[in-house]
Amino acid sequence: MSLLVTFIEGPTPVHERAAAHARALAAAQDQGFHSPQRLEWPGGHALWFSTPQQPRSSGACVQDGPRFAALCGTAHWQGLAGEPLLQRLLKDFARPQDMPLRDLSGGFALLFSQGDAVWLFNDAVGLQKIYTAPEQGVISTSWLVCRAALPQARIHRLRAQEYVLLGSTHATQTPVQGVQALDPAALKELRSNRDTPLHAAQAWRSPTHFQSEAEATATLSDLIASEFGGMLKAFGAPVGMALSGGFDSRLLLAALQHQGVAPRLYVYGSDSLDDVRVARAKAQELGISIECIDKAQLNGRLPPLDRAQLKANLAFFDGLPVDGIFDRGADRQTRLQQMSAGTLNLNGGGGEILRNFFYLPDRRYCASDLVSTFYSNWLPAAIANADERHAFQAATADGILHELGLPAGSARARQQPLSRSDVELVYTLFRLRWWMARNNTVATRHGAFMTPLVQPRLVELAAQVPVAWKTYGQMEAAIITRLSPAGASGPSNYGFDFSQGPGAAHRRSVNATLWRPIAVRRASARLRRLLGRNPTVAAPAEWLQALPLPQVDWLDTRFLTSTAQWNRLLTLCAATDDTLAHTAS
């Protein structure tokens, strides 16, 4: 992806602000970004950097006197992308509020000015994160740039706990005090430094009511076909994607086949995995070649981790990726390979909008219920202080309510029943907006990357589909079949052919979770531990040799139960280590 770094006036003294800006610029250069295009206005300026080694693969910047537009990430509209898209927006629209924001596809950050104001905003879903160090007057699509602007890094306890235990933070605060994310639903005007609502929560509540499952299947299939047609017109070939044995990658494949496109296919894992066996069989059936990528084997052939490698990973993944930075290099290598030569890389992330993501029966639930069912899969003893533990859970429920535009901040609000369509929107506006968006932001740093199954119009309509039509995957299977019967046929990870729909065995498997009481789900981590199925784990010795664990008083590491949690904990330690995260002026 391209990179945007914006400098505006901040509350700190001029000499301190100048030092902070110098540190931020040095951090951008440490990440491989050089020779920026400069955009200026009274009281501030922005630097737009093209993607290293792939200058035209994602993002764009155009300027006409005082008028300019700079894009980071990947976007398309009406068959346009890159500079032609920005030129069209500058020609047709005086301000962001006038744009067809629900029709702009992709994950992006857009800086836009017609000369009298300078606006910065996200795509409607919020799949591209924008960060700020407000005291230093720095705004950037890079978390690490904003972190470097700080004179020193201090841990935000709650958000650090959240990052380690849940994989991402789900609010504007980040794990480091002084670095925030901009509200993805707001529009920031940089000359006045004011925020105004842009993507209102109410706008996601579509009045559409489908009369039948067949009508919903046809409508959503046509919308997906239109989305892929516009995307391919805008970006052209080549297109690459990972194929697995699941619903969403098969839907991507079917949508591409519907457009007559045979993508470059790859699959992750060892030969023994179901994903690999199913993907290979499907590719062979269609006569498309597929590459099998075993990251464990790749890492086994690379040198052990050291501090130099960690520093490189920190820069590559922008500080705090969902999976952490403790990897010998296979993750970096494969990401670059996927987007080499300008390949548009697709991912099926977010396809769960077409299914029952939370595996909950068709009832109303409150925000606290959703925290119990999905955001409590960690041992409570990991947060030793009971008040902090309660604050953690309350903050998660409040975040859900905030994204839905509902009152938050009280126990009563957290217990208010939500409409079932709002429960469905939680997946997009909370889970995808914060967790997947962080992953997408990292992916687009290195080329053209999209998750096309979360186009805003598709999100709106999918939330209105009765849950009974989505619960076992039957509607998504029907969409796959409608788009490409050839793509739908054959094996899957679920033991049934998508063109035939889910069978009894799959329905029984889903029901085992569907009808599990919320109280049991809330206690699942503790129950598994009592049964000996959720033991605590230690950090790999190689990781601790590369970065010894400093004293941590905000988390009890004796109750971490996965190497993924350890990876994120040590990643945060690396991101707050001044010798690894560049802070020198």
The three-state (H, E, C) secondary structure of 92-154, written as one string: HCCCHHHCCHHHCEEEEEEEEECCCCEEEEECCCCCCCCEEEHHHCEEECCHHHHHHHCCCCC
Q: What is the pLDDT, as a whole number, of residue 49?
A: 93
Report the run of H or E that residue 7 belongs to, with start and end. Answer: strand 3-8
pTM of the predicted model as reported, rounded to 2 decimal places: 0.96
Q: What is the 3-state secondary structure (H, E, C) of 43-72?
A: CEEEEEECCCCCCCCCCEEEEECCEEEEEE
Residue 237: the pLDDT is 81
Q: How far apart are CA 115 and CA 333, in angstroms?
A: 42
Taking residue 533's Cβ as centre, other Cβ atoms within 10 Å add up to: 9
E-strand stretches of 388-506:
449-450
Q: What is the DSSP letter of 342?
A: G
CB 200 within 8 A of CB 74: no
According to the model, what pLDDT value does residue 392 have? Answer: 98
C-beta of residue 158 within 8 angstroms of C-beta of residue 392: yes
CB neighbourhood size of 531 (10 A): 8
Q: Are 20 and 34 in contact (CB under 8 A)?
A: no
Span 204-293+343-356+422-515 CATH architecture:
3-Layer(aba) Sandwich (3.40)
The pLDDT of residue 583: 53
Q: pLDDT value at position 337?
A: 87
SS3 291: strand
Task: Supply the pLDDT for residue 287.
Answer: 95
Q: How far apart are CA 109 and CA 313, in angstroms?
A: 23
The closest of 291, 273, 374 to 333, measured between CA atoms, is: 291
Given a cut of 50, the residues of the chain with pLDDT beneath it are 584-585
Q: What pLDDT does 340 receive?
A: 82
C-alpha 211/C-alpha 117 separation (Å) is 45
Domain boundaries, the chain: 3-198, 204-293+343-356+422-515, 367-418, 541-575
pLDDT value at residue 48 = 95
- pLDDT at res. 585: 41
What architecture is the 3-198 domain classified under in CATH?
Answer: 4-Layer Sandwich (3.60)
C-alpha 538: how far from its chain's center? 28
> What's residue 447's pLDDT?
87
Same fold yes or no, 3-198 and 204-293+343-356+422-515: no
Tokens of 63: 């300027």
Distance separating alpha carbons of residues 59 and 447, to the nearest angstrom = 9
* Strands 138-140 vs 3-8: parallel, antiparallel or unpaired: antiparallel
The amino acid occupying position 160 is A
Provide the residue type at 269 as one letter. Answer: G
Task: Quote the pLDDT of residue 8.
Answer: 82
Six token digits for residue 580: 């690894």
CA distance 381 to 558: 9
Task: Determine contact, residues 67/114, Cβ cutoff 8 Å.
Answer: yes
pLDDT (tens digit per residue) in 476-523: 999 999 999 999 999 999 999 999 999 999 999 999 999 999 999 999
pLDDT at residue 169 in the model: 97
Beta bridge partner(s), residue 262: none
User: Rounded CA gap, 301 and 279, in Å?
Assistant: 25
Tell me if residue 176 falls in helix, strand or coil: strand
CA contacts within 13 A on the Cβ side of 469? 21
